[in-house]
Amino acid sequence: MTVDSLETLSFEQAMAELESLVKRLEEGRLPLEQAMAAYERGTSLKKYCEQKLQAAKMRVEQINMTAEGTIKVEPMGDENL
């Protein structure tokens, strides 16, 4: 199991690690202590990924341009994700 600091991970790396942890937990073969550590790490990774997605969403909202070429901030609805 990778123990990199969350701040050093890209979104893609964090998601890959999270997917790997979920797969290992679903197999049900980890000893209790390793399963608990994997669950804790997975929870942290999930929160980190959610924060990265929220930051990306906010950037997209700030970058929207009108037909005239001016920047217009329009909230992006969840249905567009």
pLDDT at 68: 67
Q: Convert the pLDDT of each residue in 25-38 to its tens digit.
A: 999 999 999 999 99
What is the pTM (predicted TM-score) of this model? 0.72
d(CA 3, CA 70): 44
Residues 18, 46: contact at Cβ < 8 Å?
Answer: yes
DSSP reduced 3-state for 71? strand
